[in-house]
Structure 1
Amino acid sequence: MKYAIKIHKISTVNELENSWNINDYKELLIRFELPGAETKDINELKELLFMAISDKEPNEAAAIVLNYKLSEHLNEGQIDSLSYEMLVDKISEEYPKIELHQQLFNINQLLYKAYNGKFPNTKATIVDFDITPKANADENITKEIALKCFAQNLDSHNVVIRLFGHQLDANEAFEEANNVIWELQKNGDSYRLITSEYFMNKEEFLKPEFEANIAFFEEE
């Protein structure tokens, strides 16, 4: 299948909009032993939470936030290990379970800002683009289609190309695409792709406009 892609903007950010809401902050304030916040102003709640977080040891704070967000996916021992590893490693890039990377990024950045830099600073990449199917190409743009197209416009040293060569070449199913790309948002005829800077660095993109021929794995 063939697609034409036009990139409008590539942004590097260290926080994703709406990754935390008022209910998140209120629940975390309870867990950090500062309940009863009456304000409904999200920025005030955030400041209160940052103060509560900074009163704890960094690994203790990390464990509390990890438990709140990921207790359904990680056991107590895994959370305890991660709470220490997060202080020295970019866990949201390195953790083996790619499906947890976005949540780990959000957790990492909350802690990074609360502690003014004691945690590593991780980043995300946002790409705003148009994609046009050619001939009989599928018009339902999925994360797999977007990732396979963009992989053809990235420097050969890119992590996606190195890790998922067989999947990109359609020799294997590419289920990982749904987790490598955190979000694929459609707005009219345009799209927004959000992923980790680890998987797509702004400097790795080759052209603002390109065409890509992609294929899909078919079981025999």
Structure 2
Amino acid sequence: MKNAAFRKVSKIQGAWSDRDYRALLSIVGFEDDVEQMDAAELREMCLMSLNDLGSADAAKAVLTHLFPELEKGKIDQVSHDMIDDRSWEEYPDCLFHERFFSAYGLLRDAFNGTFASPTGVELEMTVTVEHVEDMVIFDESLHSSIVRLLANGQGDDALINRLYEDQIKGTWFPEAPGLVWQLKQLTDEGLTRQFSLVSSYFWLENFEQVDIFDVVSHADEES
């Protein structure tokens, strides 16, 4: 595998749409007609409205929008902890991490800081194999195969290997989409494919100094 590009980021491009801003304005009780606002006006009004709420209530509004599956009591608890916590890394369910990452990015814009600054990674990588059939794993279970590849490119003491050893070595990795976000295949040239992804620096910091490495990976197996 070749690391073609490694960039630190604090936001995910396109994470917040006009529809998201309208939903947030509804949650905070904004009563003006938002349908006629353009994208820039929507975002600015959303940031101003969140700032007016104060940090804890603003966090609660953002989490209410992003996590409809969470109970109100849980949202209340997490929203009060967000200023000091790093929920995009620390929340127990990693499948929530991408949404937390985007929540912190928006809240930092609304409060000109205050909340912890999330550090993510945009990674582009090129995978080369000896035989075309070796690429089948990416067609069968893309997220799991990529996460195993990235984990195997780090030492056994890397956090991802210590926390997810069973899934990396095993045949089922349901947490994989929580570890690599926005995963896309960019090119397919037979023996070579290029992928792009976003993840937390928490998982991929070791690749900041690594360009090329040889690894193995495997797909999930159907139960």
Q: Determine if the TM-score, normalized by the shorter chain, exceeds 0.5.
A: yes
The percent of aligned pairs where both chains have the same amino acid is: 25
Structure 2: 5+ residue runs without aligned partners?
Answer: 189-193
Residue number among 81, 86, 111 corresponding to 1:85 in the alignment: 81
CA distance in 2, matches of 1:49, 1:215: 44
Count of residue pairs the alignment pairs up? 213
Q: Could you tell which deviates more after superposition, 36-45 or 112-121?
A: 36-45
* Partner residue, 2:146: 146
- The within-5 A match list for 1:13-28 is 13-28=9-24
Q: Would you tell me which structure has more helix in proportion to its own residues? A: 2
**2-structure distance, mates of 1:219, 1:147:** 18
Matched AA of 2:165: G
Question: What runs of 5+ residues in structure 1 fail to find an aligned partner?
Answer: none
- 1:214 counterpart (201, 214, 217): 217
Please report how far the alpha carbon of residue 162 of structure 1 lies from its aligned counterpart in structure 2 after TM superposition. 1.7
CA offsets 1:124-182 (integer angstroms, 9 cap, x no match): 11111111233341335211111111223235543212211232233x63222222112
* Aligned-pair CA distance for 1:44: 2.3
Give the drift of 1:206: 5.0
Task: Tell me the secondary structure at the aligned position of residue 213 of structure 1.
Answer: coil
Q: Deviations over 1:28-53 (max 9, x none)?
A: 12222323235543222211111111
Distance 2:220 2:45 in 1: 50
Q: After TM superposition, what 4+ stretches of structure 1 lie above 6 angstroms from structure 2? A: 217-220
Matching of residue 160 in structure 1 with residue 160 in structure 2: yes
Alignment deviations for residues 78-103 of structure 1 (CA, whole Å, 9 cap, x no partner): 00001101111011211111111111
3-state secondary structure, aligned to 1:188 = strand
Once residues 23 and 173 of structure 2 are traced to their aligned partners in structure 1, the CA distance between those partners, rounded to angstroms, is: 36
| Higher relative contact order (Cα pairs below 8 Å, separated by 6+ residues) | 1
Q: CA RMSD in A?
A: 2.2
Q: Scaled by the length of structure 2, what TM-score is found?
A: 0.86
Q: Which amino acid aligns with 2:158?
A: N
